[in-house]
Amino acid sequence: MVKLNELIPELSVSDINISLDFYINILSFKIVYQRKDDKFALISLNDSQIMIEETNGNWETGTLSYPFGRGVNFQIAVDDAYKLYKNIKKQNYKIKIEMQENWYEADNVMIGQKEFLIMDPDGYLLRFAEDLREKECPRYISSCILKEFKLKNGQTLVLRKPIVEDAKMIVEYLYTVGGESDNLLFGKDESYFTAEMEIEHIKNINESETSSMVLGIINNNIVSIAQISSPNRKRIAHNSEVAISVKKDYWKNGIGSCIMEELIKSVKDGGIIKNISLGVKASNKNAIAMYEKFGFEKIGKHKDFFNINGDFDDEILMDLYI
Ligand SMILES: CC(C)(COP(=O)(O)OP(=O)(O)OC[C@H]1O[C@@H](n2cnc3c(N)ncnc32)[C@H](O)[C@@H]1OP(=O)(O)O)[C@@H](O)C(=O)NCCC(=O)NCCS
């Protein structure tokens, strides 16, 4: 049973045999089926399908003269554009537009294609494109910047929302900060996030109305990450939890305060969250002092919550009511 694509261009050609020779022998299309008497064939290359039929006067909307199909080009996806390009060159077939890498803006991303164009024997323009995946659009990256701060030490701290291209750097950051103090929920090399998981996480958090992640960046390196997350359930969606860390080399420069201030501001602007909660190791005096500076109150504790290589410590629970 032949599965026909939802959209199949049908090309009126001047000589079915010349066209079949071109599509099959030069471009490696396959014949799906043909009706020799009608001088018609359905041909395919991977998931692309084209119908070709020798002109017979039916369904003609005007005079056909070379080059046919003016104003249209057919994009055909291929796995390896360069391999096909080389084959075509070897057969001395003329390339209309040489192989090039192009990036096209689509919403927040740039879609990349390695592509070249040729004209078929009747002049129909064919564009062979290899997918180069996606990258973030520069305009989108600048729209993710929330704020820039001059720090006490003169460096500029950029606060921005994460983009998927940060995923690898975020994972490396988490591995590093896990080993720099005993104050997080994970130790050295214990962050279980992979870059793929992080990409999904970034996409989800950037779409969320109530959760957000803020990166602190100095000279294109992540030096701090903070995140507010709240549950999806409507009855408790106004409660959130915050997590924050700063790379040890950058402590006591005001970075934690900048990022915390930005998160609290975003929560207030959002208007949904009424409570920010957190848990902090009882011996983490610096963090507790920072939270109290921003108005967090101690509301209880989990006894012996942390087990750092056999040393137990309480978790202090703190809330900030918005
Ligand atoms: C806690 C942490 C985020 C603070 O980041 P930071 O960039 O050093 O914070 P800041 O420089 O903005 O300081 C913020 C406040 O924290 C307190 N603080 C920070 N370091 C301190 C120190 N060595 N001694 C006393 N208070 C300190 C102060 O209240 C300070 O405010 P102030 O400068 O106005 O006095 C950072 O130390 C860190 O990442 N620690 C490891 C991970 C961690 O503990 N995360 C929190 C888990 S709950």
Q: Which two tokens stand for residue 295?
A: 């108005």
User: Best of 184, 224, 247, 252 to mutate for ligand 1, by most ligand atoms within 8 A of CB?
Assistant: 252
What's the pLDDT tens digit per position in 46-105? 999 999 999 998 898 999 999 999 999 999 999 999 999 999 999 999 999 999 999 998
To the nearest whole percent, how much of the chain has pLDDT over 70? 100
Beta-strand relationship, 48-54 and 10-13: parallel
> Cα–chain-centroid distance for residue 276?
29
Q: Measured from the CA of 260, which atom of ligand 1 is nearest?
A: 12
Q: Which residues line ligand 1 (CB under 6 A)?
A: 181, 183-184, 244-246, 251-257, 278, 280, 284, 286-287, 289-290, 293
* pLDDT band (50, 70, 90) for residue 13: very high
* pLDDT band (50, 70, 90) for residue 281: very high
Q: Which protein residue's CA is at the shortest distance from atom 21 of ligand 1?
A: 286
Q: Measured from the CA of 180, which atom of ligand 1 is nearest?
A: 41
Between 191 and 234, the higher pLDDT residue:
234
Between 248 and 183, the higher pLDDT residue:
248
Strand partners, 164: none
What is the rounded radius of gyration, in angstroms, for the C-alpha atoms of the chain? 30
From ligand 1's centre to the CA of 17, what distance in Å? Answer: 77
From ligand 1's centre to the CA of 286, what distance in Å? Answer: 5
Q: Which two tokens stand for residue 299?
A: 């509301």
Q: Helices 167-180 and 195-207: crossing angle, nearest 10°?
A: 100
pLDDT at 184: 87
Q: Which two tokens stand for residue 304?
A: 């012996």
Q: Which two tokens stand for residue 46?
A: 């991977």
* pLDDT band (50, 70, 90) for residue 27: very high
